[in-house]
Homo-oligomer: A and B are copies of this chain.
Amino acid sequence: MSQYTAPIRDMQFVMRELAGLDEVAKLPGCEEVSADLVDAILDEANKFASGVLAPLNRIGDQEGAKWDNGDVRTAPGWKDAYKQFAEAGWTALACEPEFGGQGLPKLVATAVMEMWKSANMAFSLCPMLTSGAIEAVTLRGTDEQKAAYLPKMVSGEWTGTMNLTEPQAGSDLAAVRTRAEPQPDGTYRIFGQKIFITYGEHDMTDNIVHLVLARLPDAPEGVKGISLFVVPKFLLNADGTPGARNDVHCVSIEHKLGIHASPTCVLAFGDHGGAIGTLVGEENRGLEYMFIMMNEARFAVGMEGVALSERAYQHALAYAKDRVQGTEMGVRGGPKVSIIHHPDVRRMLMSMKSQTEAMRALAYVVAAANDAAHRDPDAAVRAENQAFVDLMIPVVKGWSTENSIDVASTGVQVHGGMGFIEETGAAQHLRDSRITTIYEGTTAIQANDLIGRKTAREGGVTIKALIAEMRGVVAQLGEHGGDEAFVAIRKSLESGIASLEAAVEYVLATYGKDIKAASVGSVPFLKLLGIVAGGWLMARAALVSSMRIAEGSSDEFYKTKIVTARFYADHILPQAQALSYSVVNGAAGALALDEAQF
């Protein structure tokens, strides 16, 4: 069976040496965040992730969630694990202290979240969706809504859901048709069907708080006519306890490729007179509120990419060290060796490892910038950090998740024939990862956001600043003189940055006058930015490691990091050029055919 242990050493390194944990700890509200506290949190989270959640991952996949006449039974052990999770306070980690949260910085919460998602992605979705609902109510809810729902959701007593998608409204939320009819008492009756509702029904808590997009009777067409409502599964009694059953029911759950233990529900609202809900914020601004939360949710799904890659890597590494097959290459008749000795297995493992570390580095750096964007006392610093976060969220989401599919698939390959047998567990990571490039906005949606709102609309200011910062790292690498690894890293990073810059120029020149041509290159552009940003941070990691070694550290971690950064430079970063070429040259061929010619 697949084991999981959190990569605490790398997490600490990235938090401290790349993401600036010390700086984050100086931000207002973060004064209690000491290195010791962070270490203690990571240790406790690791115990829970490896000891409680990881062992349930396989049984969750095998048994799945089961629908039974409107109820949903979670997999064996799930309910108890959730109870432990809430009681240990993990649901409250990053929430506002006002409602019972612990208010930890996003940087720290991100490392902890990675563990949940590595250990058991299907489980992690329940608290993740609840976090989104908490944020919506915190930001735009009435005082009554906050008082009624937040303490219970922060404590994990109740969970939350997001109800956006309908059969005709997937990526295009303008097409939402669910109706909300105002009632004389100020509440609304909701009618409609929502699909793809994660943990829309389950047996782990006494109540479920649904956040639902719906249209008022007189609402304008399109995206500007959608409002947001709170619709609890059980209406609340005067004392705040769950009372009468509300008219929202789980009609069915989906049979999916992966995350079997996470029930994906079809919810019917109002089949028996109307589901009672209350308005969040103002009328017709529901989509805008959703977008506020979107960054959070997209970042979290990006972390699934990091987390699944880490899990798949650990799984493959353990197998490669254990499985004996063949002799050392070039040694005929020698003793049998474990397959980690074979060069291609080595290449696959290094590919998985180096990409996972690069993705983690980028995600944590963005998390730290998010903390600064929210907490720094200087408005200019907040704005600068927010711009960086806005630019990179689609990359963390799109690049990490696209990579995770490849990394998990490589993990299957390392296992050879055993990888195709479900019992081994390697295939589950591939199946689970396959949703991450789709939900919370497909990679194309991330990429459109990236080239449009995040790049072209601001004339490339933020991305150019980032490129300038990257060039600074190239200069530092140059100071290393003849060290072979640093020469290789520098050469590849410099070339990658040039490729990125050419693509940025193309997007800036093309977006306004030919949005279709620019959009053909949007996904390659997103991957390009991810790969080069990963190379930039791996180069920074190598520089720090070199410094620590020069200072006298004998920690093997630093030597390993330099090798890993070099592998990334030799095997991953060179893809930048091909992606840039496709961005700059790829529109005409992609758009030339009529629909009928396909």
Q: Are B349 and A598 in contact (CB under 8 A)?
A: yes
Query: Across the interface, which residues of B come within 8 angstroms of A597, CB to CB?
Result: 556, 559-560, 563
Q: Are A333 and B416 in contact (CB under 8 A)?
A: no
Smallest CB-CB separation from A174: which chain B residue? B326
Is A520 an interface residue when CB atoms closer than 8 A count as contact? yes
Q: Restricting to A573-597, which residues have a CB under 8 Å from any CB of B?
A: 574-578, 581-582, 585-593, 595-597
Smallest CB-CB separation from A578: which chain B residue? B574
Q: Are B258 and A350 in contact (CB under 8 A)?
A: no
Smallest CB-CB separation from A435: which chain B residue? B420
Smallest CB-CB separation from A328: which chain B residue? B516
Secondary structure dominating the interface of A: helix
Is A23 an interface residue when CB atoms closer than 8 A count as contact? no
Q: Which of A36-44, A104-112, A340-348, A544-552 contacts B (4 or more CB under 8 A)?
A: A340-348
Q: Restricting to A453-487, which residues have a CB under 8 Å from any CB of B?
A: 484-485
Is A423 an interface residue when CB atoms closer than 8 A count as contact? yes
Q: Restricting to A323-380, which residues have a CB under 8 Å from any CB of B?
A: 324-326, 329-330, 333, 336, 338, 340-347, 349-350, 353
Q: Are A416 and B438 in contact (CB under 8 A)?
A: yes
Query: Across the interface, which residues of B come within 8 angstroms of A245, CB to CB?
Result: none
Contact of A196 (CB < 8 Å), options: B165, B329, B417: B417
Is A171 an interface residue when CB atoms closer than 8 A count as contact? yes
Q: Restricting to A254-289, which residues have a CB under 8 Å from any CB of B?
A: 254-258
Bound CA span A175–B343, Å: 20
Q: Which of A80-88, A144-152, A439-447 contacts B (4 or more CB under 8 A)?
A: A439-447
Q: Are A353 and B571 in contact (CB under 8 A)?
A: no
Query: Across the interface, which residues of B come within 8 angstroms of A346, CB to CB?
Result: 520, 590-591, 593
Question: Contacts A344-B522, A427-B434 known; A598 to B172 CB distance under 8 Å?
Answer: no
Bound CA span A54–B348, Å: 35
Bound CA span A121–B482, Å: 53
Bound CA span A421–B589, Å: 31
Q: Are B588 and A484 in contact (CB under 8 A)?
A: yes
Q: Are A256 and B420 in contact (CB under 8 A)?
A: yes
**Can you list 20 pairs linking A and B with CB atoms under 8 Å apart?**
A170-B417, A175-B325, A196-B417, A317-B598, A329-B515, A338-B595, A343-B516, A345-B444, A346-B520, A346-B590, A346-B591, A412-B434, A413-B442, A427-B434, A488-B588, A524-B571, A563-B592, A567-B586, A571-B590, A578-B578
**Chain A positions near chain B (C-beta within 8 angstroms):** 165, 168, 170-172, 174-175, 195-196, 222, 254-258, 317, 321, 324-326, 329-330, 333, 336, 338, 340-347, 349-350, 353, 405, 409, 412-413, 416-417, 419-423, 427, 430-431, 434-435, 437-439, 442-444, 447-448, 484-485, 488, 515-517, 519-520, 522-524, 556, 559-560, 563, 566-567, 569-571, 574-578, 581-582, 585-593, 595-598
